[in-house]
Structure 1
Amino acid sequence: MESSEPDPADDTSMDAFLDKFQSQPYRGGFREDQWEEEFDKIPLFMKKAPSEIDPKEFPDLACLQSIIFDDERSPEEQAKAYKEEGNDYFKEKDYKKAVVSYSEGLKKKCVDPDLNAILYTNRAAAQYYLGNFRSALNDVLAARKLKPGHLKAIIRGAICHLELKHFAEAVNWCDEGLQIDAKEKKLLEVRAKADKLKRMEERDLRRAKLKEKKEQRQTEALLQAIKIYFEDEDGAELYQVSPWSTLLQVLQHPRYLVKALTPTFVVCVGSSPFSENYLQGKRVHR
């Protein structure tokens, strides 16, 4: 049975084939008005992966994805694939998608502690750039449980503590990392900054306590200096009120009388001339 296609080895057949190729349009080629859009749909030449992969619009990409994330592959292989995908998103500064990819890798629950530690650490970095410092710190803590000496996790944990204003913790994490690598530049920078802020925080705390004590002494001196009284119904007797009493406690006194729906008190400085004149001839119940 003869082949329906020309034999390329035969010169005559080749010429016929080329003539046919030139006279008939190539099917499946790019259209002149949309060649850039169609070119960008080829996975190898894509500038940026689509957020949603529609098999009808991106059949080649959907096919590759099904191969990469095939459930028949081992959890370790699938976790590595998601890690690489997350790294690609991270390089593109698409940190939200990077977090999703790293999370999918962790869901595979592979038994490789180093791989899981990397997934946690990388997700922590993506969370950090999203401003989710608490989530980033939680991921770093999880990574260190799997791999206590993971230097990248220690660095990112120190930075997270610094952002969260946990200056003492940031210094401690830096010290732990410097025991692994005493010349690690980032740890040295973070430690210097955290130590400076820690000292400033301690100084401000001392100042605040001193100010609080000063204000407390002034308040106590004022309360000791002033005297508060209320008069009985006749105005002939006075009852001294403790400055620390509440209004309710005073109103519940059996000799207190509210006039015109308004509680009234007499407040004066205990050693003042007015106080001495006012109290003269009055009976004071202290």
Structure 2
Amino acid sequence: MASPAILNDSDDDDVFAEAFARFKYKNAFDEDTWEEEFDKIPMFMKTVPEEIDPKEYPELAHIQAIIHDEDRTPEEKAQSLKNEGNEFFKEKNYLKAIVAYTAALKNKCGDQDLDTVLLTNRAAAHFHLGNMRSALNDAAAAKKVKPGHLKALIRGAQCCIELRNFVTAIQWCEEGLKAHPTDKKLQDLRAAADKHKRAAERDARKAKVKENKLNNEKEALMAAIKERGVKLLQPVKPRQSGSDGEDDDEGSSTAVAELSLDGLSSHKATGAQVFLDEQNSLHWPVLFLYPEHQQSDFISAFCESNSFLDHFAVMFGEELPPWDVDRKYHLQNLQLFFEDEERETLYKVDPETTLLKVLQHKRFFVKVGTPRFIILVNGSSFWKQYLTGKKMQAL
């Protein structure tokens, strides 16, 4: 087994020196001109130059600008802040660029050319941040100062396209093309805005056709329900306690609904809703309850012309429900009921009866869009207990 290598202090120093030599520090002073560069830093200057070039002495120029700020004209201040904003913009620091341009505009220098540039520059910064409304406002303000300003017109059109206001975008482009008829950018924006406009109009027409179709289907559905005399029941919120000087009963009550989709809200709870097929037959979502086992069955589309026996033959055919541990829910043992909650009465339904006939019964109410029925095993101990004290009628 090879012994691990042992490095002493001198070895470590050599490794560090070799790495330091390979990776040269960036932004450092140049080896040949470091004294001259060092002398340009205000803190270490031996003498201050008579004329200060901002490009050669940027730090010193900033310091002097701060010291002599009160001596500068509003135009000089605005120009300085514009330059500062431009530097931030180049660095993609758009928030700071907006602050600088805004400060420059507050100087109100009166130079229309400078104000227009400041507004279009700030519009560009807002545009890159996704502030389309603010960018459009700045472009409009710049256009107001100089109506034919190309950059303002281009930026305004771009903002309108991003805001999906294609008609206004076309207006910006056409206004710009009057002043700059050969500008390629405005021509391209005009073409793009027109293409988007036509696509939006096409989508709006399709949506309108779809909406009309849906409304017609809803009207036909409600007409079919009304024609059959089916009564819809929906929950009604109780009034607040103390209203009109009386206390309402606790809990929500129910009321027969006007024939509207408000009474057909089962779609939200079950994902199914009554629908009308091409043969003008209604298909209802139907719920079967087994109170003995606290279980239920759900049929999403029970055709009104089908009998309950049609479905029971499938539900309780060769394979009984897994929760029926006593194996007693055979077809011949079952009894079917619906409950009139208001009168606290159970109505016994012959399984050979069609769904439509039950729905048309004067005491059957479709609650929240879903007819519901109770299934019991005839003669069982639970059957006797459940029916004790209840009113019962045959359909």
Q: Extract unaligned runs of 5+ from structure 1.
A: 1-29, 50-57, 232-239, 248-255, 261-272
Secondary structure of the structure 2 residue equivalent to 1:111: coil
* Superposition pairs of residues 209-220 of structure 1, within 5 angstroms: 209-220=208-219
Q: For residues 159 and 180 of structure 2, what CA distance do their matches in structure 1 show?
A: 19
Offset at 1:154? 0.8
Offset at 1:96? 2.5
Q: Extract unaligned runs of 5+ from structure 2.
A: 1-28, 43-53, 234-255, 264-339, 345-353, 364-395
CA contact (8 A) 1:228 1:242 kept: no
- CA 1:183–1:137 in structure 2 vs 1: closer, same or farther (change >3 Å)? same
RCO higher in structure (CA 8 A, sep ≥6): 2
Aligned residue type for 1:63: I
Please, what TM-score do these two structures have when normalized by structure 2?
A: 0.47
| 2:165 equivalent in structure 1 | 166
* Superposition pairs of residues 123-134 of structure 1, within 5 angstroms: 123-134=122-133
| 1:115 equivalent in structure 2 | 114
Offset at 1:65? 3.2
Larger % of strand: which? 2
CA contact (8 A) 2:74 2:108 kept: yes
Please, what TM-score do these two structures have when normalized by structure 1?
A: 0.63
* Superposition pairs of residues 46-57 of structure 1, within 5 angstroms: none
* Superposition pairs of residues 86-235 of structure 1, within 5 angstroms: 86-226=85-225, 227-229=229-231
| 2:307 equivalent in structure 1 | none
Offset at 1:199? 0.6
Q: For residues 242 and 97 of structure 1, what CA distance do their matches in structure 2 show?
A: 60
Q: For residues 224 and 209 of structure 1, what CA distance do their matches in structure 2 show?
A: 22
CA contact (8 A) 2:230 2:359 kept: no
Larger % of helix: which? 1
CA contact (8 A) 1:228 1:241 kept: no
The C-alpha deviation readout for 1:169-197, integer Å capped at 9, x for no partner, is: 11111111011111111111111111111
Aligned Cα root-mean-square deviation (Å):
3.8
CA contact (8 A) 1:133 1:164 kept: yes
1:70 and 2:69 are equivalent in the alignment: yes
| 1:9 equivalent in structure 2 | none
Offset at 1:276? 6.6
Secondary structure of the structure 2 residue equivalent to 1:71: helix
| 2:259 equivalent in structure 1 | 243
Aligned residue pairs, count: 216
Offset at 1:62? 4.0
Q: For residues 149 and 177 of structure 2, what CA distance do their matches in structure 1 show?
A: 12
The C-alpha deviation readout for 1:200-246, integer Å capped at 9, x for no partner, is: 11000000000000010011001111132389xxxxxxxx9641396
Q: For residues 138 and 219 of structure 2, what CA distance do their matches in structure 1 show?
A: 50
Aligned residue type for 1:115: L
Q: For residues 193 and 142 of structure 2, what CA distance do their matches in structure 1 show?
A: 22
The C-alpha deviation readout for 1:131-165, integer Å capped at 9, x for no partner, is: 22221111112112222222211111001111111
